[in-house]
Copies of this chain bind each other. A is one copy, B any other.
Amino acid sequence: MNMYGYMGKLLFVDLTDRKIKELELKERDAKLFIGGSGLAARIIYNYLTADLSPFSPSNPIVFMTGPFTATSVPSGSRYSVSSLSAWGYWGESTSGGYFGAFLKRSGYDGIFVIGKSEKPVYLAISDNKAEIRSAEHLWGLDTYKTQEEVRKEFDKRARVACVGIAGENLVKFAAIMNDAGRAAGRTGMGAVMGSKKLKAIAAVGNRSVEVANEDALKATVEAVNAGSYMNITFNLLSRYGTLGYLELGALLGDVPARYYTKTVFPAEKVDSIALIEKYKTRKYACYNCPLGCGKIVKFGKMGVDEVDTPEYETVAAFGPLCENYDLDSIIYANHLCNAYGLDTITMGVSIAFMMYLSEKKVIEREERIEWGDKEKILSFIHMTAKREGIGNVLAEGVKGIAAKYKVSMDYAAQVKGLEIPMHDPRAFFGQALTYATSSRGACHLKPDWYMLDIGAGLAEIGLMPGEVEIGVNPGDRFNMSSRIQSFVTLQNFKELYDALILCKFSQATPFQILGMFNAITGFNFDIDTFLKAGERIINLKRLINIKRGMGRFDDKLPKIVTDALKHGPTSEKSPNVDEMLEEYYKVRKWIEGIPTKEKLTELELDFI
């Protein structure tokens, strides 16, 4: 069936049997789960069992686009990858670049991969055709080289998503890389892909997406763009990239340093201006993105001419979190992670954890690493990707490190196996709730509450965040009382971004997003139906985590990131997660973290 906004077909690939077939996308599923990680969750749910291992052939991995992909929606063409995470819970990650648009233009809304190949393979997709090809000659290549080789032998126009050595070696936080340096970094999707011996997926095609109402879409897209150009977040990201946040974040106490034990550090040494002053940079954008937060740095050192600029998260993780203020080493660390296919956040957090444990002398002298030891940071990255020596411990992330050194989980900066990213939960109490309740663990994006409460400032000077349209109001960042309903609404709303799929940096307002969705699909949703879809997806992912043995106990933050700090902008501040959770469950109609039957019925999830 050909629906507006969708290609109407999914590619089903069984690597064990080397079988490929097409599955029809049902309109009912599209209406209930929209696309992206929403539809992926719907598909994956059926395959799950309580004891399925993430690296078992039976664990499916799903690459999805959404109704926005390859349309004229600005910043709307990311792709998502979902599966069980390397820790065995709900896993998902999205990535920008061009791969998502090219996958959809090849004729498929997504790819469902199951099984495991005996020998390395890659998948080549073009115009409603797909083929499993040998990747034996690509095994062991870095991600840049892999993309290059696949394009050379398959199709120069194709875009490629692939794993590097880290994915091959099942490093728990291996990333999937595409379009040179874009990453689906989190939850170890690269390890799952590697476990299937699937080195890469290449896609190219000329299929176009049919849109229900071209005029309405055009008008809304124009309004979105006009609004964006006068939007402060848009402009700052466009000019400075994500790293532009570091200075502001440091002043707010939002940038964790020294493994989350402080927030005061010399930000000027590693901020966006330091970068621009030190290197020549040029910007680049993802498919149909007017913002263009990406940058390429003219590096000219250590054998590397040009490199992808490190994002804010990466600089914070390899910088202040490790007490390392040497930009060269941060840029090179980022480059190594990209080439090996490693999540920079988890890599940085894991190294910082080793530094913290070294300081506490928990680790044997010969394995210790000192704060700011930039040479050792780089060698740890090499060793992790290759699982050599201490790298074999690092490759397990902070949970694995804590287990290895018999350290209390209070000090392992992770939630549900996913390492805590570079927004300190003491700086925005709502962000603490984000980490505690996000389906994939310590995710900083669903919802990105820190952005909302910074927006309180913008609201005061008349630059109102769009979220107020749906009753989500920015406010005091240290106070969530009577704001949990707002939180839940925003969480439902942000869940939709990964279904549509829309970049979190899109500055479209909620009603503009709904308008574009309706113009494309012709579904004619009202805002409540739209938000309900977000809520449905969250509940479904919750059910997946419950099936995997999770409960209320897993909705918690380790003490290392909630104990009040003595100094800096957040001194003496500590979010009370339990108190917020109490109210959160109430609003969600969950009992002890488990959705009630009534809620599931209301959400049309009663088939479960």
10 example contacts (A-B, Cβ-Cβ < 8 A) are as follows A230-B264, A232-B251, A235-B251, A239-B271, A454-B461, A456-B457, A457-B457, A457-B458, A457-B459, A460-B474
Contact B247 A230 (CB under 8 A): no
Contact A568 B478 (CB under 8 A): no
Contact A460 B463 (CB under 8 A): no
Complexed CA–CA distance, A235 and B478 (Å)? 23
Complexed CA–CA distance, A96 and B231 (Å)? 35
For residue A311, CB closer than 8 A to chain B, the reply is no
Which residues of chain A from 529 to 584 have a CB within 8 Å of any chain B CB?
Answer: 568-569
Q: Closest approach, in angstroms, between the C-beta of A565 and any C-beta of chain B?
A: 13
Which residues of chain A from 475 to 529 have a CB within 8 Å of any chain B CB?
Answer: 475-478
- Chain B residues with Cβ below 8 Å from A453 are 461
Complexed CA–CA distance, A130 and B69 (Å)? 77
Complexed CA–CA distance, A453 and B240 (Å)? 25
Given A268-B239, A460-B459, also A569-B477 (CB < 8 A): no
Given A239-B273, A273-B240, also A252-B461 (CB < 8 A): yes
Residue of B whose beta carbon sits closest to that of A250: B235
Complexed CA–CA distance, A35 and B577 (Å)? 54
A sample of 15 more A-B contacts (CB under 8 A), given A456-B457, A460-B460, is A230-B251, A230-B568, A232-B248, A235-B251, A239-B247, A240-B273, A276-B276, A453-B461, A456-B461, A457-B459, A460-B474, A462-B476, A462-B478, A462-B569, A463-B569
For residue A277, CB closer than 8 A to chain B, the reply is yes
With most chain B CB atoms within 10 A of its CB, the pick from A240, A271, A458, A475 is A458
Contact A477 B457 (CB under 8 A): no
Which residues of chain A from 205 to 258 have a CB within 8 Å of any chain B CB?
Answer: 230-232, 235-236, 238-240, 247-248, 251-252
Residue of B whose beta carbon sits closest to that of A273: B239
- Chain B residues with Cβ below 8 Å from A252 are 461-463
Complexed CA–CA distance, A273 and B239 (Å)? 8
- Chain B residues with Cβ below 8 Å from A267 are 235
Q: Closest approach, in angstroms, between the C-beta of A325 and any C-beta of chain B?
A: 16
Q: Closest approach, in angstroms, between the C-beta of A449 and any C-beta of chain B?
A: 13
Which residues of chain A from 442 to 471 have a CB within 8 Å of any chain B CB?
Answer: 453-454, 456-463
- Chain B residues with Cβ below 8 Å from A461 are 252, 453-454, 456-457, 477
Q: Closest approach, in angstroms, between the C-beta of A235 and any C-beta of chain B?
A: 6
Contact B276 A569 (CB under 8 A): no
- Chain B residues with Cβ below 8 Å from A238 are 268
**Chain A: interface secondary structure?**
helix
- Chain B residues with Cβ below 8 Å from A569 are 230, 462-463
- Chain B residues with Cβ below 8 Å from A231 are 251
- Chain B residues with Cβ below 8 Å from A474 are 460
Q: Closest approach, in angstroms, between the C-beta of A201 and any C-beta of chain B?
A: 36
Q: Closest approach, in angstroms, between the C-beta of A272 and any C-beta of chain B?
A: 9
Contact of A456 among B251, B271, B460 (CB under 8 A): B460
Residue of B whose beta carbon sits closest to that of A236: B247
Contact of A247 among B235, B251, B271 (CB under 8 A): B235
Q: Closest approach, in angstroms, between the C-beta of A575 and any C-beta of chain B?
A: 14
Which residues of chain A from 375 to 430 have a CB within 8 Å of any chain B CB?
Answer: none
Residue of B whose beta carbon sits closest to that of A459: B460
Q: Closest approach, in angstroms, between the C-beta of A99 and any C-beta of chain B?
A: 29
- Chain B residues with Cβ below 8 Å from A477 are 461-462
Q: Closest approach, in angstroms, between the C-beta of A279 and any C-beta of chain B?
A: 11
- Chain B residues with Cβ below 8 Å from A247 are 235-236, 239
Complexed CA–CA distance, A545 and B231 (Å)? 43
Complexed CA–CA distance, A236 and B250 (Å)? 12
Complexed CA–CA distance, A475 and B568 (Å)? 26
Name the 6 nearest CB pairs between A and B, nearest first: A457-B457, A456-B460, A457-B461, A457-B460, A460-B460, A232-B251
Q: Closest approach, in angstroms, between the C-beta of A227 and any C-beta of chain B?
A: 11
Contact A273 B271 (CB under 8 A): no
Complexed CA–CA distance, A268 and B283 (Å)? 13
Contact of A273 among B264, B276, B458 (CB under 8 A): B276
Q: Closest approach, in angstroms, between the C-beta of A442 and any C-beta of chain B?
A: 22
Residue of B whose beta carbon sits closest to that of A247: B235
- Chain B residues with Cβ below 8 Å from A235 are 247, 251, 267-268
Complexed CA–CA distance, A373 and B277 (Å)? 30
- Chain B residues with Cβ below 8 Å from A277 are 276, 281
Complexed CA–CA distance, A454 and B461 (Å)? 6
Which residues of chain A from 261 to 300 have a CB within 8 Å of any chain B CB?
Answer: 264, 267-268, 271, 273, 276-277, 281
Complexed CA–CA distance, A457 and B462 (Å)? 9
Q: Closest approach, in angstroms, between the C-beta of A294 and any C-beta of chain B?
A: 15
Q: Closest approach, in angstroms, between the C-beta of A281 and any C-beta of chain B?
A: 8
